[in-house]
């Protein structure tokens, strides 16, 4: 019985010390990790915005972070995350770039667990290029559902989810557009 109590005490001390060390390391690394994530998100936003625009500025509106790009002081477009819970592997998040003239500039997948070799083709030019430059008012659904977009062969679920992400981004962009086009000092 004494051996059992001694083992329990030793394990409790080891677990307490390990937990304290883990908490200390987490506190020390939390800020640098968050800063790195913010920088990576900003770089991704810059890649989906109109060419030649200034470095995007994060603007928070209605719980959404918009990365606003300007060219010569005028609003050029914004990037924001579009979400879908209907990807083949669960949630999908795309960084979607939308221009001031109401067109899709580009998009890049941030989160998604799509089928390797099939669903991952939404990241290729085969799926992406026909969508670039499309009007935000266009029908953003796959042909199989009565829309105008060709789904990736054998990856309709992933294609639907990507388009749902784009529709989500468009809806929030259009709602926030009056505030986004205002000069930074007017917000």
d(CA 48, CA 28): 33
Neighbours of 153 (CB within 10 A): 10
d(CA 60, CA 152): 34
For residue 158, give the nearest of 125, 109, 98 by alpha carbon: 109
* Predicted TM-score (pTM) of this structure: 0.79
Domains of the chain by residue range:
48-186
Residues 6+ apart with CB under 8 A from 13: none
pLDDT tens digits, one per residue of 40-92: 888 899 999 988 888 899 999 888 999 999 988 889 999 999 998 887 777 88
Residue matched to tokens 């050029």: 76
């Amino acid at each position: 019985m004494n051996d059992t109590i001694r083992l329990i005490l030793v394990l409790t001390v080891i677990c307490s010390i390990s937990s304290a060390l883990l908490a200390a390391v987490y506190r020390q690394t939390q800020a640098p990790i968050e800063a790195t994530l913010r920088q990576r998100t900003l770089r991704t936003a810059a890649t989906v915005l109109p060419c030649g625009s200034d470095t995007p500025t994060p603007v928070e509106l209605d719980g959404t972070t918009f990365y606003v790009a300007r060219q010569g002081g005028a609003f050029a477009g914004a990037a924001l995350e579009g979400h879908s819970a209907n990807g083949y592997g669960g949630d999908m998040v795309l960084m979607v770039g939308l221009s001031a003239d109401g067109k899709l500039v580009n998009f890049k997948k941030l989160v998604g667990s799509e089928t390797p070799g099939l669903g991952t083709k939404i990241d290729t030019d085969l799926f992406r290029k026909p969508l670039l430059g499309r009007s935000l008012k266009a029908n953003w659904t796959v042909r199989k559902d009565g829309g105008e977009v060709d789904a990736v062969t054998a990856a309709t679920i992933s294609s639907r989810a990507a388009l749902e992400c784009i529709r989500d981004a468009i809806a929030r962009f259009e709602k926030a557009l009056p505030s986004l086009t205002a000069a930074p000092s007017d917000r």
